[in-house]
Every structure is written in structure tokens, then in C-alpha cells.
Chains A and B, each alone.
Chain A
């Protein structure tokens, strides 16, 4: 098999025939640096459409709208996975190949590095004069003393910084070529190993990050609970408003805590900009006393491996609805969803349990600081300074018995008809806190008892987070080690005894480093000065 050089990191056996030859060839290709670059560029290019087109996981409503607006183009995008780039087969293929390549790269390099660390540093070259950085200096103390001092200076020093910057050193006693075969001492020092080590740590930690993310997506659960002031939430799947979990998540492992929302505080500036949101809660964990704490934006509360995030808030007016017979058919707070920055909010009340007559439904809008009247009603501030609620009532069948799960924020009007006023138009009724209004036609009445707030709390547990953080830290440390540590070689050569006709020994030094290393010449001079004892303390390293 012919060996073909692909680039500095891979040598390929050009295949003749046979499956094994081909497989080997493919594998070598995949683990070559050139393919790694191309895969990285593909990864970058492939990620871009996700920022341009609406993505199903992130914004399903916009994706649906996009499909409706662009039937043909949309279908094509959908087919090519462009509406779910990061879950698409081709994007997955790119990063799986990249990581296959990465692992195929790390393993042989780690082994090579391990071998290189155990092998001695390569010996000093014979002709030092041809290097760009070369120096010579007289060493009256003699070659041996000089070399010992230089080695001590170069070897790893105490402390992590000293360890990172230390060299691997070897000293040989050798006979130079040539006629005046005087024995000489040659020191060879190399600190390239730290860089390679950092590089391996970095690439391995990248694999760790990917594994942690994958494990997290299998083990995680996340849900949202809407809690009204004064009410409690118990951590069980059924208690969530929405709940999703990874494939390997076991619902029996939910930690059964109880959270009570005592009070929700929202602070807005006079111009209605949000300034702070705080949920004051009482947390009861199994086998311990209730304790008061709070949850803020940016300050989640950790409970039993899960984090509770304050994700949203709004008003949940407490209403009582009586039916035509005067019995209470509904009572309790109803969550209204804010629609704008002034917290104009909309909500729906479904009253299926009437004693007699048709079922009732209410569609209501709440204005926390109402101004204007009639159709010009609007809210100017999210604080409930002048709360007003406007609603229309519906009668008929709410459609709750069909067994189809319904959206609690939406009224299914297919079997409902609006309740009409004396003029024959749908009646628009207005309510203020503490007041009661009667529905037309003696259908019943609605009372607004109070105006509590609600908090939307996201609960999320991802057992991979500590791992992910550790690998991320290793990524940065490895990267810094690999990019900032030097790759210098230092060689010092001196005859054991002064050359004939000279009173003192003269040491020749040379250094070699990549072109971006501008300090290497100075460093060489410093090493030599330190070894001859002429380096003052302040210049030390």
C-alpha cells in the first residue's frame, strides 16, 4: 500500500482493493485535519439558517405562520429540515462526523503524547550558530557548574505557574564530530509538552461537553406551574400546567416538595418599565419545617436537584359565578394572561356545573389602570390603580365532555352563543373589584371578589449541569494552556575544558520557537545569565 501524505497530521494508506482497505482509507480521511476544518466550516454554515427561518422547537407559532404564508417554499424548507435545523438529520450528521473525527484524533495523539513524555528530550543539535536566536558567553565557573545551574533554572519550579512553565531537560556528555575531539556538555530543554497536554485536555473536554449535553437531554425534566397568591403547588406531574421530560426520566423520582406563593411583588417605573419581580414563597420539603424564601428573575431557587425560575407573572382575578337558580356554580381565581406592557390581560371562565339551564362561559379583559370608557377603554400602567374588567358571556355547550383536551385560555365557541342585551347585540358587561353584575335574561350573576397576582414558575432539573460546568471549565483551561504556553527549545553546548589557547570555557546557546513567540531571544539571554549567576533577582523569569 502506498503511503500518501495528506497533511501534517495524517498519512493515508492509498487503498488498492478490498473493503478493509477502503474502510481504513475512509477512517484516515475522516480523522485528517483538512476534513476537520471542512466539517467545522460546514457546522458554522449549517447553523446559520436556524437564525433566519422560524424553528419549530423555539417558536412553533411563527413556524406554522411561515408554512401558511409560503406554501411551496415552506414545504421545501420543511422537507430539508430547515425549520428544525438543530434536530435535522444533516446537522446531526455533521456534528457526529466531527466528533468521530475528534475522537479518532484524540486517541492516537494522547498515546503519542504519553510516549513522548516518557522518552527523553531529543538531543541538542551540533551546529547551534545557524539558529536565529543564538548567544555565546564565557563561563568562568566551568561547564559542569554552568549546566547544572541552567538545568535548575529551566526545570519546573514550585507552584502551578512554575510547573506549567517548566522545561524537560537532558544533559549529555558527548564527543563532537571533528578533529579536536574534546568532550563537550550539551543541554537540551523543551517545554512543548504543556501545550500538547492542554490541547488534549481541550479536545477531550469538548467530547465531555457533548456527552453531558446528550445525557442531560435524556434525564432532564421541565415543567411550568402557575401559582396564584395564597395557593400552593405540589411537585407531581399532574400538578403542572405543562410538563416535558427526557426519555430516561423517571417521574417517580420527582422530589415531593410543596411551594406556597405568599405574595408576589412587581415594581414598575412610572413609565411602566419593569424594575423588579419577586415571588415570596414558603417552601415545604419532606421531613423538614416550612421555610420562607423568595424567587426572582436571575435568582432561581434550588430544591432537591431542581431549580425554580420565575418566568412570568400577571393577575388572577378571584370571581364567583352564580347560576340562574342562585347557586354558586364557580368560585376561585382565574389566570389572565398579560397581552402588553401595561398588563391589559385576557382570561376565560368556564362554568360547566350549573344547576339548571345551559352552561356558561365568560370572555373577559382586565385593565389594571383603566382610562377611557366603552370601546376606548385601555390600560396605561401595569399597577392595579384603577382595575376594570369588561366581559361578554356565552351560553350553550362548553364542549368539555368530548374528551378532547381544551386550552384553558380559550373558549370553544362552536356550540355557544353570546348572551344578548335588550338591544339584541351581545351584552358587554363591566365589573370593578367588590362589585356584582347580573347577567341578562336572569342567567345568573358574576362577582369580582379580589385581585390576586399569579407567578409562572418554571421547574427544571438537569442532573448533567455540574458535569457540563466542569467540562466547560476544562475546555477553557485546556485551551488557555494550549494557546498561551510556549513551545520553546533551548540548547546550551560547552566544552568540558576550555578549548586550547583559551583561558575560560565559552558556552554557546541557541533557542527555537514558532515565529509568533517574540520573547524567546530575551528568554535565552536570561537563562544564560541565570546560569552564570549574573541575573539580578528582579529580572528573574
Chain B
């Protein structure tokens, strides 16, 4: 089997497994939420009848929940291995690091997101993120394989640089980190709305929110991720400037790609400020973090396809 087929097969396999994991993680989350609601009901019933019912945290989970978690975990694990194989095989096929086209950037960035999730999972329980992360990875891989796919080619002279490896690899890692942080911020906002009994998220469909941690806990997790992402992004922008200085003889030229990298950086800086400011901490700063990730995605999609600039090789073809 040549690397090209191996890569495609492995990535399709990973996509399928992630999709399965996403479903299983969702089932698990729903069961957990059900159990919490049931436990709360038992407690209030118990209190009314004077019985001494222990308010077991989360209540007992049905066996199906444990089974769902087992399926989710193993599907993610096998999926991430296949994903890694797919990325590596692509690198071997292309003869350079696999992050020089949108296709390569997408498969590598989503790989980072899943690996990051598994790493965090080792240190603390973030099962509630599983559905989001594997869902994001499924969509990213699916889009990459169907829409963005491009055959591997050699690198142009301007891209043959040590700084390409540094600049783009860190940018890829940032995309993964900011992506997970984005999910956490979205959950934070939803959970916060639910706690405030907002009408939009009070329906059954949002019951899973009862199983995710409280908003302040989510905000703390999002901050840690965004903080790491921000430092790495700062470094990415600087490495890019050094590379531009070597390749084009100017470190900054307000090229569309550079403009958007700057916008992302400034938006996350305002997020970091907002976190510590009265009236901005909490919801408003979470909006800013989400805006930062949206800018990151725009930088990678719209900016590549629509705007012209020296970075056009990052777009598809030509």
C-alpha cells in the first residue's frame, strides 16, 4: 500500500470512529444529566417525607452509561491512532511536514485538538468535552477529505524554510488549543444561561448541560487553554515575521494573512483584559474568546480563498 492510500484510508477510518465516539459521548452525557435530575428529585422527595436519602453526587448511573463511555473512549483512542497514522503517511507522501496546504493544516490541527483532549483527560475528568471535541474532529476531517483534499506536491522555494516548520506547526497547535477552549467557552455560556433559567436553553434538548461543570469551573478551564494558546499564538506571529524577513525582506507588510493573525492576537488580548475587569469578566469575556476563534477560522477559510496576498500558496491549488 502506498502512503497516499494508507493516509486516506486511515483518515476515513478515524472520521468514522470519531463519529461513533461523538454519539457515544452524547449518550453518556445525556444519561449523566438524567441521573443528576433524578437524584435531585429523590433528594427533594426524601426531604419532603423526612427520609434520609443520601444525596449521592450525580446519583447512580445506569449500566448503559458506563457502556457508552467505554465505547466512546475506545473509539476515540483507536480513532486518534488512525488519525496520527494518516497525518504521518501524508507527511511521508509529500516529503515534507504535513502542514503546508489547507488540507494538511486541517488534518493536523484536528489531530492536535483530539490529542490535547486526551491529555487533559488524563489529569482531570473532562468527559463532558468528548462529544464536542470528537464532533469537531469529525466535521474537520470530513470536510478536509471531501472538500479540501489536494494531492501532495513539493514545496516552492519560499516555503523551504526551517521557519515554515516552526511557524506553521505552532499555528496548527494553536488552532487545536483554541478550538478546545472555544468549546469550553460555548458550554460555559450555555450553562450560565441555563443556571439563569434562560428560556432558550431550558428545553429538554439542553438537559445535557446539567452534567457539565458549573460556569466558573468552565471559565477557569477555558482561561488556562486560552492562556497557553495566546502565548503560542504570539510566538507564531513572531516566527512568521522572522520568516517573512528571511523570505521577502520585510517582517511585516499588512498582507491579508498577517492582518488576520494580528486581529486574532488583539482579540485574544482583549479577552485576557476583559477577564480581569468588572462588568466584563464571565459572559462578555467568553464572547471575546469565541470571537477570537471565529477570527481564527475566518483567517483559515475566507482569507485563504478570497483575498490575495503573498500567502496565496496557503489556498487551494495555483
Which A residues are closer than 8 A to B by beta carbons? 7-9, 33-34, 36-37, 40-41, 43-44, 47-48, 50-52, 55, 57-59, 85-86, 213, 222, 269, 273-277, 296-300, 307, 309, 311, 458, 460, 465, 468-469, 472, 475-476, 479-480, 483-484, 514-516, 518
Contacts and interface: CB of A to CB of B under 8 A. Distances in A.
Nearest to A458: B249
Given A44-B267, A274-B157, A8 B276 contact: yes
A300 B246 contact: yes
7 contacts: A8-B276, A55-B254, A297-B157, A307-B249, A472-B241, A483-B228, A518-B220
B307 A52 contact: yes
B234 A476 contact: yes
Contacts of B249: 222, 300, 307, 309, 311, 458, 460
Interface stretch (B84-92, B200-208, B277-285): B277-285
Given A51-B259, A460-B250, A479-B231, A298 B161 contact: yes
B243 to A, nearest CB: 8
B177 to A, nearest CB: 13
B259 A297 contact: no
A156 B266 CA distance: 34
B248 A309 contact: yes
Nearest to A472: B238
B246 A86 contact: no
A33 B267 contact: no
Given A41-B267, A476-B231, A476-B234, 13 more contacts: A9-B277, A33-B276, A37-B270, A51-B259, A51-B260, A58-B255, A274-B157, A298-B246, A307-B249, A309-B247, A479-B231, A480-B231, A483-B272
Contacts of A300: 246, 249
Given A48-B263, A515-B216, A34 B280 contact: yes
Contacts of A34: 277, 279-280
B55 interface: no
Contact of B247 (A86, A269, A297): A297
Contacts of A86: 254
B158 interface: yes
A58 B253 contact: yes
A33 B281 CA distance: 12
Question: Which of under 10, 10 to 19, 20 to 34, or 35 or more describes the interface residues of B?
Answer: 35 or more
User: 6 closest Cβ contacts across the A-B interface?
Assistant: A516-B220, A309-B249, A297-B157, A40-B270, A51-B256, A44-B266
Contact of A297 (B158, B216, B235): B158
B64 interface: no
Contact of B230 (A274, A299, A479): A479
Given A47-B262, A516-B224, A33 B277 contact: yes
Nearest to B216: A515
A476 B236 CA distance: 11
Given A37-B280, A273-B154, A484 B227 contact: yes
A8 B274 CA distance: 11
B235 A476 contact: yes
Contacts of A213: 252
Nearest to A480: B231
A515 B213 CA distance: 13
B273 A36 contact: yes
A515 B52 CA distance: 33
B263 A44 contact: yes
Contacts of B272: 483
B105 interface: no
Interface in B151-165: 153-154, 156-158, 160-161, 163
Interface string B78-111: 0000000000000000000000000000000000
B269 interface: yes
B156 A273 contact: yes
Contacts of A222: 249-250
Contacts of B238: 472, 475-476
B303 interface: yes
Given A273-B156, A275-B157, A37 B273 contact: yes
Contacts of B246: 298-300
Nearest to A460: B249
Contacts of B314: none
Given A37-B280, A44-B267, A483-B227, A51 B273 contact: no
B124 interface: yes
Given A48-B263, A51-B260, A515-B216, A468 B254 contact: no
Contacts of B128: none
Given A7-B279, A472-B238, A48 B230 contact: no
A93 to B, nearest CB: 16
* A33, A47, A51, A277, most chain B CB atoms within 10 A: A51
Contacts of A458: 249
A518 B124 contact: yes
A294 to B, nearest CB: 13
Interface string B275-301: 011111000000010000001000000
A166 to B, nearest CB: 21
Contacts of A43: 266
B25 interface: no
A478 to B, nearest CB: 10
A51 B307 contact: yes
B221 interface: yes
A40 B235 CA distance: 19
A309 B217 CA distance: 51
B251 interface: yes
B117 interface: no
Contacts of A307: 249
Contact of B266 (A40, A311, A476): A40
A532 B216 CA distance: 35
A34 B154 CA distance: 49
Nearest to A48: B263
Contacts of B216: 515
B178 interface: no
Nearest to B156: A274
A34 B270 CA distance: 10
